[in-house]
Amino acid sequence: MASGPLEQFQIKPIIPIQVGDLDLSFTQSSLMMTIAVVLVTGFLTLAMRGHTLVPSRLQSMAELSYEFIAGMIRDSVGPEGRKYFPFVFSLFMFILLGNLLGMIPYSFTYTSHIIVTFTLAFAVFVIVTIIALVRHKLHFFSYFFPEGAPIYMAPLLIPIEILSYLARPVSLSIRLFANMMAGHTMMKVFALFTISLGVFGVAPLAINVALTAFEILVAVLQAYVFTILTCLYLRDAIHLH
């Protein structure tokens, strides 16, 4: 019971798997990822099972999530973004489910680990850069010099632009990881206060109730932020400036 507020982030193997020197154990984090995939897939296939013209409640939820991401891509990337819709949709659902499942007591938030969010952000970064290079070839590098800027500013602007471009996966991953970790840590801290303060624990308990609602908002919001930033990067890759 008297565990530290950071103990919840400990990775615990369920099925130990060792491949050579690498520890690829199936952990509670892997379990939550699997549950997320199963839930998203189950939700969509179950909702669309009847695929009726007049949707049932579950079907309208599935259609709503589809239209939400499709609209986001249409608005921020344009019609060229349609190709990347399944990727962006998977990304949003994966992060959203990771964040929301983490709100269930005794579960685990896989998005609270920097390595997970960084891998996702890095994947986005690599994909976006490849798309940009394939579309614009060498012309892509003109991205690092803003159009219309005086040429003598180039020595200053180009390093800044390159740095900010390279900082994208870092800021994208740290934003999500820090939000998730801070929220869960805070909740755990107040939960521990509640226990240690006895009767007066009602006050931190009340805070935790409010925090729970706040954390659910953050969970949805951060999934949205991650996705919309991915869309904006995609737009930059397709339209350059």
Partner 1 sequence: MMSVRSVKRAAAGFAALALTAAPAFAQDGGAGLPQLDTNSFATQIFWLAVTFVALYLLMSRIALPRVRDVLEERDRRIADDLEKAEKLKEEAEAVLAEYEKALADARSQAQAAMAEATEKANAEAAKRQQALADTLAAQVAEAETRIGAAKREALENVRQVAVEVSREATLRLIGGDIAEADAAKAVDAALKESA
Q: Counting contacts by CB under 8 A, is residue 131 touching partner 1?
A: no
Q: Counting contacts by CB under 8 A, is residue 183 touching partner 1?
A: yes
Nearer to partner 1, 41 or 142 (CB): 41
Q: Counting contacts by CB under 8 A, is residue 60 touching partner 1?
A: no
Q: Counting contacts by CB under 8 A, is residue 51 touching partner 1?
A: yes
Count of other CB atoms within 10 angstroms of residue 29: 24
Cα–Cα distance, 114 to 4 (Å, whole number): 19
- Buried/exposed code over 34-51 (b: 16+ C-beta within 10 A; e: otherwise): ebbeeebeebbeebbeee
Q: Counting contacts by CB under 8 A, is residue 174 touching partner 1?
A: no
User: Per residue, what are the HEC states of the chain?
Assistant: CCCCCCHHHCCCEEECCEECCEECCEEHHHHHHHHHHHHHHHHHHHHCCCCCCCCCHHHHHHHHHHHHHHHHHHHHCCHHHHHHHHHHHHHHHHHHHHHHHCCCCCCCCHHHCHHHHHHHHHHHHHHHHHHHHHHHHHHHHHHHCCCCCCHHHHHHHHHHHHHHHHHHHHHHHHHHHHHHHHHHHHHHHHHHHHHHCHHHHHHHHHHHHHHHHHHHHHHHHHHHHHHHHHHHHHHHHHHCC
Q: Counting contacts by CB under 8 A, is residue 189 touching partner 1?
A: yes
Query: Quick one: how far is CA 121 from the chain centroid?
Result: 8
Q: Counting contacts by CB under 8 A, is residue 201 touching partner 1?
A: no
Q: Counting contacts by CB under 8 A, is residue 5 touching partner 1?
A: yes
Q: Counting contacts by CB under 8 A, is residue 103 touching partner 1?
A: no
Whole-number minimum distance, CB 158 to partner 1, in Å?
29
Whole-number minimum distance, CB 159 to partner 1, in Å?
27
Nearer to partner 1, 3 or 164 (CB): 3
Nearer to partner 1, 177 or 233 (CB): 177
Q: Counting contacts by CB under 8 A, is residue 66 touching partner 1?
A: yes
Q: Counting contacts by CB under 8 A, is residue 59 touching partner 1?
A: yes
Q: Counting contacts by CB under 8 A, is residue 110 touching partner 1?
A: yes
Q: Counting contacts by CB under 8 A, is residue 87 touching partner 1?
A: yes
Among 126, 166, 167, 217, binds partner 1 (CB under 8 A): 217
Q: What are the residues binding partner 1 (CB under 8 A)?
A: 2-7, 9-11, 13, 17, 22-27, 29-30, 33-34, 36-37, 40-41, 44-45, 48, 51, 53, 55, 59, 62-63, 66-67, 85-87, 89-90, 93-94, 110, 112-116, 119-120, 177-179, 181-183, 185-186, 189, 192-193, 196, 217-218, 221, 225
